[in-house]
A and B are shown apart, each in its own frame.
Chain A
Amino acid sequence: MEQEQSLWQFINQESAKLLQQTLQHIGLTFFSLLIAVLIGLPLGIYITRNKKASGIVLGIAGVLQTIPGIALLGFMIPLLGIGAVPAITALFLYALLPIIRNTFTGINGVDPTVREAAVAMGMSNAQMLFKVELPLAFPVIMAGIRTATVINVGVGTLAAYIAAGGLGEFIFGGIALNNTNMILAGAIPAALLAIVLDLLLSLVQRTGGKHRRRTILIMPLALLLLSSFYVLPMGYNARLLAGFTPEFMGRQDGDIGLRSVYGLKIRTVVISDAVMYKAAYDKKLDVISGYSTDGRLKAYDLTVLEDDKKIFPPYYAAPVIRKEVLQQYGELGPALELLAGRINDSTMTALNYKVEYLKQSPERCAREFLEGQGLYKAPRNGTRGLVRLGSKIFPEQYILINMYAMLIRGNTDLQVDTKTGLGGTKICFGALVNGKIDMYPEYTGTALLAILHPTKEEVGRLGGDRDSVFAYVRREFGEQYRLQWLTPIGFNNAYALMMRRSQAQELGIHSISGLTLYLKKK
Chain B
Amino acid sequence: MILVKNVSKRFDGFLAVDNVSFTVNEGENAVFLGTSGCGKTTLVKMINRLIEPSSGEIWIGGKNIGGQPPEALRKSIGYVLQNTGLFPHYTISENIAVVPRLLGWDKQKIYARTTALLEKLHLPPGKYLSSYPHELSGGQQQRVGLARALAANPPILLMDEPFGALDPITRASVKKDFKELDELKSKTIILVTHDVQEAFELADRICLMDKGKIIQNGAPDDLLFRPADEYVRSFIGDQRFQLEVNRIGSKDYPALIEAFNHFKNRPL
Contacts and interface: CB of A to CB of B under 8 A. Distances in A.
Given A113-B84, A114-B85, A123-B71, 16 more contacts: A113-B81, A114-B86, A114-B88, A116-B81, A116-B85, A117-B79, A117-B84, A119-B74, A120-B74, A120-B79, A120-B85, A121-B102, A122-B71, A122-B102, A131-B87, A135-B89
A118 interface: yes
Contacts of A338: none
B50 A121 contact: no
B21 interface: no
Given A119-B74, A121-B75, A123-B71, A136 B102 contact: no
Contacts of B132: 209
A12 interface: no
10 contacts: A111-B88, A113-B81, A114-B87, A114-B88, A116-B85, A117-B84, A119-B50, A122-B74, A136-B88, A208-B89
Interface in A136-170: 136
Which of A118, A131, A135 is the most central at the interface, judged by chain B CB atoms within 10 Å of its CB? A131
Interface residues of A, number: 19
A121 B71 CA distance: 8
B83 interface: yes
Given A113-B81, A127-B102, A120 B87 contact: no
A117 B81 contact: yes
B142 interface: no
B50 A132 contact: no
Which of B48, B71, B91 is the most central at the interface, judged by chain A CB atoms within 10 Å of its CB? B71
B50 A120 contact: yes
A121 B79 contact: yes
B98 interface: yes
Which 4 A-B pairs rank lowest in CB-CB distance, beginning with the nearest?
A117-B85, A122-B75, A122-B74, A120-B79
Contacts of A118: 87
Contacts, number: 57
B136 to A, nearest CB: 15
B53 to A, nearest CB: 17
B72 interface: yes
B50 A117 contact: no
A332 B255 CA distance: 120
Nearest to A124: B71
B16 interface: no
A175 B98 CA distance: 60
A113 B81 CA distance: 8
Interface residues of B, number: 22
A118 B74 CA distance: 10
B132 to A, nearest CB: 8
Interface in B101-136: 102, 132
Contacts of B73: 122
A252 to B, nearest CB: 61
B51 to A, nearest CB: 10
A140 to B, nearest CB: 13
Interface in A88-129: 111, 113-114, 116-124, 127
Contacts of A209: 89, 91, 132
Contact of A120 (B48, B88, B91): B48
A111 B83 CA distance: 11
Contact of B102 (A116, A123, A135): A123
B91 to A, nearest CB: 8
Contacts of A124: 71
A331 to B, nearest CB: 79
B75 A117 contact: no
Interface string A242-279: 00000000000000000000000000000000000000
A136 B48 contact: no
A121 B85 CA distance: 11
Interface in B58-79: 71-75, 79
B72 A122 contact: yes
B206 interface: no
A119 B70 CA distance: 9
B191 interface: no
Given A121-B74, A122-B75, A122-B102, A116 B50 contact: yes
A41 to B, nearest CB: 18
